[in-house]
Structures are given as structure tokens and as C-alpha cells.
A and B are shown apart, each in its own frame.
Chain A
Amino acid sequence: MVEAQEDFVQKRETIIIKGNEAAAYAAKSARVQVISAYPITPQTTVVEKLSEFVDNGEMPGTQYIKVESEHSVFASVIGASKAGTRTFTATSGQGIFYAHEMIHWAAGARLPIVVAIASRGPAPPWNIWADFTDVLSQRDTGWMSAFCATHQEIYDEILMSYKVCEDHDILLPKFVAYGGFILSHTSKPVIIEDQDLVDSFLPSLPSEEGWPHIWMDPKRPMMFGNLIMPSSFYLEFRLKIQNAFIRVKEKIKKVTKEFEKIFGRNYGNGLVQEYKMNNVDVGVIIYGDLALQMEQAVDELRDQGYKVGMVKLRHFRPFPTEDIIEVAKKVKLLGVIDRATAFGSQTGGPVSCEVKTALHETQETAKVLPIINGLGGREVTLEQQKNQLKALIKFNETGEIPKDTIHGTLWDGLLEVE
């Protein structure tokens, strides 16, 4: 371990940094105790920046572990978390898939691990650019998942996540995802908060005793990960996870409010963030980096007199069913924009499927048009997003189905092939 130069001395400052660096600063601000690292594009600079912090003695006491694969990354943070420490790592795409076994394990063991994901498209064909299929394909593992639209949101969401995950009523792991390269490698001004203020917001680090349900202590021997017979409590453990996911919605809302009170930045109710959703005919649900750019598309069409609005989906798990039902009451037509795929599902898009499921028992709700765009980092321009809104307006007014609607889903931005 590196000898501490100084205690965590971060002062409030605004610096122009990449999204990946914002994630690293958040881990530092959260005083994480164990970081496990294996490089993968586009995540690599997260763990590079953290290794710099540790090497410079800016994170006294933090253990930085280099391992040989993502499977071991997750295995080692699971071990560290079981021993009662605040843990962090980051990965992308194929790295998540390789760690999939351990990802289930972390949730089953109810370990509050927070992992940053610089999302990239699954191979083949080999792809390293923004596509949320990697994190969304972990849908049923028991991990929470959040999307970030800005560099600042990466920093903020990681802080909020520790507060939510480590709550003793919750104890669940969480992915904090943002688009590879689009956020991970672009730079914007980010406010890094004063260490004292972050300390006052976050729960204190776990005590020597560890978490309330799991620990590693020779004086209190405990067996974990053992075989459990079908007649024993497996079914009940699974129900407990689902119950925690029900409870966590309120917790996320509460933490988001507290965050705003202390740091002054608003993220809607934490689960969703509405933008110009009053007096609207047509709205879109969108997540990740494209949500920020869509705000401008909405602004520009509003200036031209169109009644359009948008909802930024901030969490995929837990899925904000109640909020989506309310949003759908406000509009006649709802576009749901995925930068990810769920092959063989009703719409082909993971979030549009969830939205349809959420609305299926609701009377007199909006019509849904699923949209898929930007796969594998295909650029989605502001102009394209404005055209998406215009296509929705036209569809709403005239019933004209947008071009490139295939099996009921609009695949926007396809290359022209002769």
C-alpha cells in the first residue's frame, strides 16, 4: 500500500475532464476502499486515472488490485465487499459479458458494489462505440442500472448510487452507464465537490463489523455461497431481492432530493426527469447521452410552435412503471428511443418493451412508437433527432407511418443501400 501523502483533500473545483475521469473522481470522492481493475476500451481511462490517484497517495488506504480478466475483477470486488468495504470498478461490453457469472453472484449475495459502465456494442462485428446493449442485457441479474446524460451526471450519479446501494434496507449492486466515447472520451466542465460536503452526504464507510447480513470475521464464522436444497430458502431469498427493488424506488427519490438540497443539481425524481412535458401532444422517452441532445431538439421545435416534450429515463432497474404510466397520460403519442437491442422481443428495443409492458393494463393511454437508433456508436445528430420529433408529430396528426418503420419499430438512420 502507498504511504498516505495527505488525507483526501479534494476542494470544490470545476475542471474540464472526460466522462471516464468524472467516474474516477466520483470513486475518489466516495473514498472507495478497494478498486479492482482490468482495462477494456472505452473504459480503460477510468482505472488509469484511479491508479494515478492511488500512486500519488491521493487515496490513502485504498487498495488497487490488478487482475487478469473481468471475471476476476468482479470476483475480487465481491470478496472485498463481503469483507465489508466500499468497492468500485468499471468495465464495458465484452468485459461485462465475461463477468456475467460473477454479476449474478454479487446481486444474490446482496453486495452494494457500484460499477461504472462505458457502454459499447457487443461483438461481432467487433465494436467499441456507444450502445447500451451491454448493460441492458444484464436486465435480470438483480443489479440496478442508471444512465447518465452528462459528464456531471456521471460524477453525481455514482455518489448517489453509493448512498442508495449501501442503505441497509436495500443492499443491492448497481451499474452506472454512459455512452462509450460520446461521454467517456469527450471533455466538459465538471464540478468536483468539496470532500467534507461529500462526506456529509454519503453514509460512513462500513465498520469493522461489515454489512449486517454478510461478513468475514474469524470470531464470527459464517458460511456463504453454499448449496441450498430446493426445500430450503432459495425461493424466499429471491423474493427478498424483488422486494428490495420495490422499496428502492422511494429510496432513490429520497436520495435524489437530498442530493439536490446539498449540491443544488436536479435530476427529476431520480427515476425519470421530465423536460417540457406540459401542454404536449407528442413526447419521447430517451436515455443516456442522446437525452441531452434531445433537449435541444425539443427546444428548437417548441420555438416553432410544436407541442413536444421528453422524458429522460434515469433508471432501467428499478423500472419506473408508475412514472411511465403518468407520462403516457399526458401525450397522445409516445416515441421510445433505444440505443440498444433486445432481439426477438415485441419491439426489438429493450426499453420500448418495458414501456409497453408498463402501459398494457392502462386505459386511454398514449400510443407507443418504438425507435431504435445509434447502434454501435452510429452518430445521431441534432438534425436527426429533430426529424424524429417531426416524424412523430406527422404520425400523430395524419397517421402516416414514418419511413423505415420495420415490424412496427422505426429503425432510424439506416444507411442507404441500393
Chain B
Amino acid sequence: MPLLDILHSIEINKSKLNKLSDNEKIVEISMHCRGGQTCITASQLLAEMAYEEDFRDTIAIPIIGAERRGAPVQAFTKISKSKAIKTYDSVINPDYMLMFDTSLLDIPTIKATIKEGVNLIINSPNPIDISSLPNNIKIFIVDATGICIKHNFMHASGPILNIPMLGAFGKISGYFNLETMEKVIKKEFGESRLEKNMSVAKDAYESVREI
């Protein structure tokens, strides 16, 4: 088969894939934060929460280097109900993007992965300027930082954003609810701060909105 035909058939396959329901496809999520904003842990927790909800194969892929506090960090999670996940590579066509810090939207390599059809969840108290983003995307905002401050949900260098961001993701995607979150958080972190975790998750779950 000539190379062009191969490329053509791949395109067809891709467009088919986009129409598959969540039950048949591998759902890919990318997360972007700054060092200390806890998106690495978020990718792991998301894999565990989805697993609880019948996503039989999941993988959490943190991209780890020598990042320090404040440096851009990314992590990916792939979840699947019926297909085995065989790839370890980065997510470049995410179904969902979790943006922990609005300043990351200006980084060209991150911006390039905001493509048609993506569901973009942004940590921001106010609607952001979306004029430079592609048209056919869904944008949601949640004031994750504000929620953390309200509940004093902080670690040494700032708010622990992973729980509110996951709460917002759970609501938007419909993949898991607060009960599932509670189960996983309890398993991972024990009882001691469970109540605070859940207050934060609940606030985010209830306040995330589309713009």
C-alpha cells in the first residue's frame, strides 16, 4: 500500500475513534500545573477514582524531571472501560484538560494541545479571555485556589489544588461522584483530613460551571 493511502486510512480511523462512546474508547486527560500545585498526585488519584467506576484499565503518567516549585509540570491519565491501554506516551490529543494555573495557557507547547473537541477545566475565579483559543472547545471554570483558601486546605508552599480540580472533573465528566472520591481519598490519605478533603471536593463539584 502506498504511503499516502496509509496516512489516509489512519485519518479515517481517527475520525471514527472520535465518535466512539466513552465505553469503547480510551479517554485521555492531560493536567498542567506548576511545581507544588500537585497535578502529579492528581493523575494518580484520577486513575484510582476511575478504576473504582469500572474503568478496568488506567494509567497515570507523570512527566518527572528536575522541576522545582513554580516550574511547569505536566501529568497524564488514560482510562478505559473495555480496551487495554498499551501506550506509555504523552497525551497530545486530550479529551479533557485540567489547567491548574491560568498562566500556563500562554505556553505555546501547552496551547498547541488545546484542540477542537477538548473539555478544558481551568482554575480561575473569573471567566478568562478565550479569544485566542480554538472555537469548538468547552471551557469550564472552578475557583480551586479560592476554595482551598476558604477551607485552609494548604501545604507548605500553597493550596492543594488536586482535590478541587478532581472534584470539578468528576462533575463535568460524570465519571465519578463525591462518594467515589471519598473512598479513594480515605484509602490514600486515611481518616485524619478526610473531612477537609471532602469539603473542598464538594465545593468544587458544586461550583464548577461552563463559560
Contacts and interface: CB of A to CB of B under 8 A. Distances in A.
Nearest to A303: B13
Interface in B59-110: 59-62, 64, 85-90
B1 interface: yes
A189 B55 CA distance: 10
B47 A380 contact: no
Interface string A297-313: 00010011110000000
B44 A295 contact: no
Given A293-B88, A304-B1, A382-B89, A189 B64 contact: no
A293 B48 contact: no
A379 B61 CA distance: 13
Nearest to B43: A187
Contacts of A293: 86-89
A16 B89 contact: no
- Do most interface residues of chain B lie in helix, strand or loop, or is the interface mixed? mixed
A292 B59 CA distance: 13
A379 B48 contact: no
A305 B1 contact: yes
A304 B61 CA distance: 29
B32 to A, nearest CB: 17
Nearest to A393: B1
A347 to B, nearest CB: 25
A188 B9 contact: no
Contacts of B87: 292-293, 296, 382
Count class of interface residues, chain A: 20 to 34
Nearest to A184: B64
A381 B87 CA distance: 8
A300 B61 CA distance: 23
Contacts, number: 60
B89 A186 contact: no
Contact of A189 (B3, B44, B57): B57
Given A305-B1, A390-B6, A187 B89 contact: no
A182 B1 contact: no
Nearest to A188: B59
Contacts of B197: none
Interface in B1-46: 1, 3, 6, 9, 13, 44
Given A187-B60, A188-B57, A292 B1 contact: no
Interface string A183-209: 101111100000000000000000000
Contacts of A185: 62, 64
Interface in A151-190: 181-183, 185-189
Given A188-B59, A304-B1, A381 B47 contact: no
B62 A390 contact: no
A304 B3 CA distance: 12
B1 A186 contact: no
A186 B64 CA distance: 10
A338 interface: no
B58 interface: yes
Contacts of B47: 16, 187-188
A295 B59 CA distance: 17
B6 A296 contact: no
Contacts of B44: 16, 187
B51 interface: yes
B74 to A, nearest CB: 12
B6 A304 contact: yes
Given A16-B51, A304-B6, A186 B90 contact: no
Given A16-B44, A186-B59, A295 B86 contact: yes
Contacts of B6: 304, 390
A379 B89 contact: yes
Interface in A254-280: none
Nearest to A129: B65
Contacts of A186: 59-62, 88
Contact of B51 (A42, A182, A189, A381): A189
B86 A16 contact: no
A289 interface: yes
Contacts of B89: 293, 379-382
A300 B13 CA distance: 10
A379 B91 CA distance: 12
Contacts of A304: 1, 6, 9
Interface string A376-411: 000111100000001000100000000000000000
Nearest to A390: B6
A181 B51 contact: no
Contacts of A303: 13
A56 B114 CA distance: 45
B51 A292 contact: no
Q: Which 5 A-B pairs have the closest CB atoms?
A: A187-B60, A296-B86, A381-B89, A186-B61, A16-B48
Given A42-B64, A188-B57, A379-B90, 17 more contacts: A16-B48, A182-B88, A186-B62, A187-B47, A187-B58, A187-B59, A188-B58, A188-B60, A189-B57, A292-B86, A292-B88, A293-B87, A296-B87, A304-B1, A379-B89, A381-B90, A382-B87
25 contacts: A16-B48, A16-B51, A181-B64, A185-B62, A185-B64, A186-B59, A186-B60, A186-B61, A186-B62, A187-B44, A187-B58, A188-B57, A188-B58, A188-B60, A189-B57, A292-B87, A293-B88, A293-B89, A304-B1, A304-B9, A305-B1, A306-B1, A380-B89, A381-B89, A394-B3
